[in-house]
Structure 1
Amino acid sequence: MENYVEIIGYSASAFIMGSFLIFNNIKLLRIINGIGCLLFVVYGYFIDSWPIIIPNVFIFLVQIYYLFIHKDKS
């Protein structure tokens, strides 16, 4: 089980880092970053770490807000 947890953690990191390489498509950036945040929430759950879970839930909700609720004026 430990190996799977580490894979989740590394995958989360890869998604977060990868999202910052996408500057020209903000929607795709938010989607990839949101996936990374969700993976970090799962990782935080498995290692029982609230300092990982709480900010990533918040960031994920921000991404959802800007993807589906907030309407751009541009």
Structure 2
Amino acid sequence: MDLMGISLVDWLGYAATATVLISFLMPSEQKLRLVNAFGCLLFVAYGVVLTPVSKPIIITNVAILLINGYYLVKKRKINF
């Protein structure tokens, strides 16, 4: 399915890219990490729906997502 001549898979990739770029405009580190983490989730979804599946996109963004999560938890001083 295309929307304006662009596939939905490509739209997902563009949304992920825009979200990660927008994250760098956030005024605080916590907001940056939260928005960036959402962008990483979008990139993971994008990597999964690509044909064939893109393991480098998935691995990189899962790693960044985990790093963002680590620092978000560390800032809140939550112990598991």
TM-score by length of 2: 0.80
Alpha-carbon offset, residue 43 of structure 1: 0.2
1 CA distance for matches of 2:45 and 2:61? 10
Matched to 2:66, the amino acid is L
Structure 1 residue aligned with 2:38? 35
Structure 1 residue aligned with 2:59? 54
Structure 1 segments unaligned to the other structure (5+ residues): none
Matched to 1:13, the amino acid is T
2 CA distance for matches of 1:9 and 1:71? 30
Ranges of 4+ aligned residues in structure 1 off by more than 2 Å: none
Q: Secondary structure at the match of 1:21?
A: coil
Q: Secondary structure at the match of 2:25?
A: coil
Structure 1 residue aligned with 2:17? 13
2 CA distance for matches of 1:15 and 1:41? 13
Alpha-carbon offset, residue 72 of structure 1: 6.8
Length, aligned pairs only: 71
Identity %: 48
**Cα RMSD, aligned residues only:** 1.8
Structure richer in helix, relative to its length: 1
Alpha-carbon offset, residue 71 of structure 1: 3.5
1 CA distance for matches of 2:75 and 2:24? 22
